[in-house]
Amino acid sequence: MVKLEELATDYLELVRNVSEIPLYSEIVAEELSAIDNGHNVPSAEKIISDLKSWSEVLKLGSDNNVIDSSQVITDELAAQALTQFRSRFKKLKFQPKAGEILKNLNHQVAGLMPHIRSNTKAYQNTKCISHAEERVIATGKELKQLIDDGHYVLDRVLSMTQGNEDYQELKKKLDSRIQNILSMQS
């Protein structure tokens, strides 16, 4: 049970870290559109600053030498950095309501955490084991359903941003741990 609590906490943290990315991508798209349409023509320094911020909130990383360099920022460098950012940004294609799905997943898993914690404590008390087993199994089923429901969106967001290797490993561990819990039912 302690391991499930740790894994569920890691899962919740991962969901929290990416739940706002679809919303941020909409905001960045509007900012880029304003630049394209000439409504907002920022200075080269402002472009570089924005690109750094956008890359960070979208968890795109920075494979861009222009942004990370200590060179003097010119209009040409800013234009080059903007072009490189756009090519990475265009890969962010989220399904409709992805942000809403991730926010709901975040809230639902966060709401389940107190039950997981109390189950861990109850399961450690030998007087409560039989009652705790039922609660543990029910909570395990609920957590599994949440993970399964959010998997496609979370997997997609992570594969387009910071990568999803850690998520895949965490999901395997959670699936295994939950399967062990559900096997208590038989």
**pLDDT tens digits, one per residue of 48-58:** 999 999 988 88
Are the C-beta atoms of residues 7 and 177 closer than 8 Å to each other?
yes
Q: Considering just the CA atoms, what is the radius of gyration of the chain in Å?
A: 22
Backbone angles phi, psi at 137, to 5 degrees: -65, -45
Q: What are the tens digits of pLDDT across the range 36-49?
A: 888 888 999 999 99
CA–CA separation, 5 and 7 (whole Å)? 6
Q: According to the model, what pLDDT value does residue 105 have?
A: 93
Q: Which residues contact 87 (CB under 8 A, 6 or more apart)?
A: none
In this prediction the pTM is 0.77
Residue 48's identity, in one-letter code, is: I
Average pLDDT on 85-109 reads 87
Q: According to the model, what pLDDT value does residue 135 have?
A: 82
CB-based burial label for 16 (10 Å; 0-12, 13-18, 19+): middle
Highest mean pLDDT among 109-113, 136-140, 161-165, 180-184: 109-113
Are the C-beta atoms of residues 148 and 50 closer than 8 Å to each other?
no
Higher pLDDT, 184 or 57: 57
The share of the chain scoring above pLDDT 90, in percent, equals: 28
Average pLDDT, the chain: 84
Q: According to the model, what pLDDT value does residue 4 have?
A: 83
**H or E element that contains 93:** none
